[in-house]
Amino acid sequence: MSIFYFVAFLAIIFALMTIFTKNPVHSVLYLVITFFTLTIHYILLNAQFLAVVNFIVYMGAIMVLFLFVLMLLNLNKESEPMKSNLVKIIGAIAGMCLIATLLGAFRVLEPSNEMVAAHADIGLVKNLGKVLFNEFLLPFELSSVLLLTAMVGTVLLAKKDVKKA
């Protein structure tokens, strides 16, 4: 339980730093660390699929997109000063979170929650696939058709009209 409280404390601190940081690039980086702490929470809850999706989709794709847009906007025109001690401490805390996640992934840190230990198969991708393709097959297929329709509509809207003279 102490790992949970430590990671929850870090999540709250980094979320607050995301809000109150004046530099937009630093704000996005703090948001990445906040999502990383949420990934640690998912691992502690034995929800590996959610942890992987959070790590790949949010941290890997959306945050990189945010950073790319911010760097294209070039909001910070003056050169960045030397790193302060606060940034070095935050980097060390982020490194410790990474080590805790790796140790949790290799099962060095055992979950202390009795409910998770009693139901070890909760949150596994195999069970999610069974539920998704048995009970929720129709909504799953409808959402895929909706996404395909949106993709076709986006291509048609982005297509330039070629006028023949």
pLDDT tens string 79-96: 555 667 887 788 888 888
User: Confidence class of residue 157 from pLDDT cuts 50, 70 and 90?
Assistant: confident
pLDDT above 60 (res 108)? no
**What's the rounded Cα separation, in Å, for the pair 109 and 100?**
8
CA angle 109, 114, 120 (to 5 degrees): 75
The pLDDT value given to residue 120: 61
With vertex at residue 28, the alpha carbon angle to CA 26 and CA 34, rounded to the nearest 5 degrees, is 105
* pLDDT at residue 13 in the model: 93
Whether residue 65 is predicted with pLDDT greater than 70 in this model: the reply is yes
Whether residue 56 has pLDDT greater than 90:
no
As a whole number, the mean pLDDT across the chain is: 78
Strand, helix or coil at 16? helix
Q: Is the pTM of this model over 0.85?
A: no
Report, as an integer, the average pLDDT of 149-154: 83
Domains parsed from the chain with CATH numbers: 2-122 (1.20.120.1200)
Percentage of the chain beyond pLDDT 70 is 76
Long-range pairs, 132-137, Cβ under 8 A, ≥24: none
Backbone angles phi, psi at 57, to 5 degrees: -75, -55
Q: What pLDDT was estimated at residue 165?
A: 55
* 70, 72, 75, 80 alpha-carbon torsion, rounded to 10°: 90
Compute φ and ψ for 136, nearest 5 degrees. -115, 35
The pLDDT value given to residue 10: 92
